[in-house]
Structure 1
Amino acid sequence: MRNRTARTARTVGLLVVVALAVTGCGGGDGAGDAVRPHDGAQRAREVADAWDGSEAAGIWRAGYHPMSDAVQPPADAFHSGADKLAYGSENFVLRGGLPRTAPKNAQVRWEEGGSLTLPLLSARSAYAAVARGGGDVGRPHLTVTGARLGAMTVTTSRGAATVPAWLFTLEGYATPLRRVALRPSPLPASPVGPIKNQPTELSPLGGLVKVAGGGRSVTVVATHGACDDGPVVKTLETRGSVVLYASVVGSKKGPCTSELRGGPVTVTLDRPLGDRVLLDAHTGRPVTDPSTLFWSGKRRKEEN
């Protein structure tokens, strides 16, 4: 998963923000908002029972939900430490024109069969999703000189798929940077509400980092405080879902700040994730890629 390595620090930081937002959220997604205090295994079972065979699970499986990074760097990346830093900080400078016209829709095509037609992102929107570092020429940056429409392979909740992608030409590189040209499908409303304002041993997950090892390895951001020994993530696997439940271990004596920290934790599954829904026991929601947060914000802005 070389394409994710340069962005790990930024991803972890973003996902801790997500966890803070989830922790402070007062509303639930559906029935079950009044949650009794549970230990982790009990809560995981409750979430699995609510999702398995539910309408929400059916909607999830019918949609396009990426489980890998939407960006793939050039095959010969990177030529220098400065270029690697620029990629990790998403600092790009545009010195060329981007296509103004493109098809209205495009298809996701899954390797195991099936397809889905979705609106195609413009080259400008895809570039905005890549270049979030401010375009500062005074610090390490990568220069984009043009773009064309192509394709790339990504991991999704329904397995590997070929999706349309904008191929951005980078100054000094022989192969392009690829960015998926689709937004993820909207997340279904959860059939179980989050844990809120009640004693619990669970911590919210920050989000998904990657799925690897043929679906047997899942890496997520797990959050914890400043005065413990770190996070532990356990799993409950069913036929229709994989519920992750995170908690912290140990405690440290002395003054303690209230900051929320996070870092990647990898769990190994008994069998490949496949099309099972990956869920967070604390929130009762699917564990998603951080790009979902970006596009959710874009949608809200466009609707207002």
Structure 2
Amino acid sequence: MVRRSVVPLLVLLLLPAACARPGESAGYDSHAAQVEQAHAALDRWAATASADGPPFVAAGEQTGQTGNWEPGVGDAYKQAMLAGAVEAAGTLPAETPPPGEIRWADGNRRTVDVLPAAETLQRLRQAGSGQCAMTCPPILVTGATLATANVSTSRGPAVVPAWQFTVRDSAVRIWRVAVATKSPEPGPHDPNNPPAGLSGERATIHDRTLTVYFTGAGGSAAQPCGADYSAEVIASDIAVVVLVLERNYEPPAGSENYGCDDVGHPREASVQLTEPLGDRVVLEVRYGTAIPVTQA
């Protein structure tokens, strides 16, 4: 059974209070909703746990390109990349490559299975939106070479096996991570009932102090349009989910209405872990996806 713990929050400015989301009643309990989302995320990660050692969990883009699109194809190919409109127009290597190695910046290494070129290209397509903002022809792949790529992971930067694809009518090379592991699917997305909380974008760890960085209000809750933030975590042996709690400015009774802009500002909040982070993955609370963590 996976052991879980809840770490009390460390207040950075003022004590937190649950805030209603737009369209929600004042009685909406953001904290309770975040706790529910966190446990659901831990369940998804527990279902894919492996005993093979520290996991490879991408915490950023797994698809990229080398070089810039030429003027004649640039606009269309940019849209095609976002949509995942990439097709094989030549013969790709059919064999499954031998095991490869992940090399983290901190010196840790792990041997992993590597996907064949065709399966890697399929994952590249599946990662796209499936829609083009404009009518765009597919990018035609004419060949593939096994290479490496520098990516962001839940344990910091790493060099990982990747396939590099040649493209018809362009000198650009497309690459896609080819590691044969898969992270759990993100939590459900319902635009009519968005998840609670704020998503951490990255985190740092110093001893047992975990600091999460996110986008929030520009000032403190003592001023109009401001907010105070604090953090807590719900953790298991596999992952740590960071909850970001928010307390907004409360205007005095009878004060005039005021307007706030929609500009986001970099904010942060910290929490003390009860145990060292170790190889555990740090997850944002809205969809339970991994965020990159570096040593502070």
Shorter-normalised TM range: 0.5 to 0.7
Q: Is the Cα contact below 8 Å between 1:167 and 1:177 reproduced in 2?
A: yes
Shift in Å at residue 166 of structure 1? Answer: 0.2
Indicate how the Cα distance of structure 1 residues 275 and 146 shifts in structure 2: closer, same or farther if over 3 A, else same. same
Shift in Å at residue 75 of structure 1? Answer: 2.2
CA RMSD of aligned residues (A): 5.2
Q: Is the Cα contact below 8 Å between 2:34 and 2:197 reproduced in 1?
A: no
Superposition pairs of residues 186-265 of structure 1, within 5 angstroms: 203-204=195-196, 211=202, 217-218=213-214, 236=231, 241=240, 243-245=242-244
In the other structure, the counterpart of 1:181 is: 178
SS of the equivalent of 1:269 reads: strand
What TM-score results when the alignment is normalised by the length of structure 2? 0.52
In the other structure, the counterpart of 1:278 is: 282
SS of the equivalent of 2:123 reads: helix
- Out of 65, 83, 90, the residue aligned to residue 96 of structure 1 is 90
Shift in Å at residue 185 of structure 1? Answer: 5.1
SS of the equivalent of 2:66 reads: coil
- Aligned-partner residue type, residue 166 of structure 1: W
- Aligned-partner residue type, residue 116 of structure 2: S
In the other structure, the counterpart of 2:159 is: 162
Q: Is the Cα contact below 8 Å between 2:198 and 2:285 reproduced in 1?
A: no
- Aligned-partner residue type, residue 65 of structure 2: P
In the other structure, the counterpart of 2:104 is: 110
Indicate how the Cα distance of structure 1 residues 117 and 276 shifts in structure 2: closer, same or farther if over 3 A, else same. closer
Question: Percent identity between the aligned chains?
Answer: 26
In the other structure, the counterpart of 2:149 is: 152
Shift in Å at residue 140 of structure 1? Answer: 2.2
| Gap runs ≥5 in structure 2 | 6-26, 188-192, 206-210, 216-226, 249-263, 271-276, 292-296
SS of the equivalent of 1:69 reads: coil
Indicate how the Cα distance of structure 1 residues 142 and 185 shifts in structure 2: closer, same or farther if over 3 A, else same. closer
- Out of 61, 67, 90, the residue aligned to residue 69 of structure 1 is 61
Q: Is the Cα contact below 8 Å between 1:165 and 1:178 reproduced in 2?
A: yes
Query: Greater CA radius of gyration, 1 or 2?
Result: 2
What TM-score results when the alignment is normalised by the length of structure 1? 0.51
**Once structures 1 and 2 are overlaid, which stretch shifts more, 116-125 or 37-46?**
37-46
Shift in Å at residue 66 of structure 1? Answer: 0.6
Q: Is the Cα contact below 8 Å between 2:97 and 2:115 reproduced in 1?
A: no
In the other structure, the counterpart of 1:124 is: 118
SS of the equivalent of 2:76 reads: helix
**Which is richer in helix?**
1
Indicate how the Cα distance of structure 1 residues 31 and 278 shifts in structure 2: closer, same or farther if over 3 A, else same. closer
SS of the equivalent of 1:129 reads: helix
Q: Aligned partners of 2:3 and 2:279: how far apart in 1?
A: 23
Shift in Å at residue 42 of structure 1? Answer: 6.7
Q: Is the Cα contact below 8 Å between 1:108 and 1:162 reproduced in 2?
A: yes
- Aligned-partner residue type, residue 72 of structure 1: G
Shift in Å at residue 145 of structure 1? Answer: 0.8
Shift in Å at residue 102 of structure 1? Answer: 4.0
Q: Is the Cα contact below 8 Å between 1:67 and 1:156 reproduced in 2?
A: yes
Superposition pairs of residues 47-58 of structure 1, within 5 angstroms: none
Indicate how the Cα distance of structure 1 residues 180 and 266 shifts in structure 2: closer, same or farther if over 3 A, else same. farther
Q: Aligned partners of 1:216 and 1:106: how far apart in 2?
A: 32
Indicate how the Cα distance of structure 1 residues 128 and 218 shifts in structure 2: closer, same or farther if over 3 A, else same. farther
**Which is richer in strand?**
2
Q: Aligned partners of 1:266 and 1:122: how far apart in 2?
A: 42
In the other structure, the counterpart of 1:269 is: 268
Shift in Å at residue 78 of structure 1? Answer: 6.0
Q: Deviations over 1:176-218 (max 9, x none)?
A: 111000144555xxxxxx9xxxxxx99257988x649999645
Q: Aligned partners of 2:228 and 2:171: how far apart in 1?
A: 41
- Aligned-partner residue type, residue 115 of structure 1: R
Q: Is the Cα contact below 8 Å between 1:159 and 1:275 reproduced in 2?
A: no
Indicate how the Cα distance of structure 1 residues 233 and 151 shifts in structure 2: closer, same or farther if over 3 A, else same. farther
Q: Aligned partners of 1:279 and 1:38: how far apart in 2?
A: 23
Q: Aligned partners of 2:179 and 2:203: how far apart in 1?
A: 22
Indicate how the Cα distance of structure 1 residues 239 and 145 shifts in structure 2: closer, same or farther if over 3 A, else same. same
Q: Aligned partners of 2:174 and 2:228: how far apart in 1?
A: 34
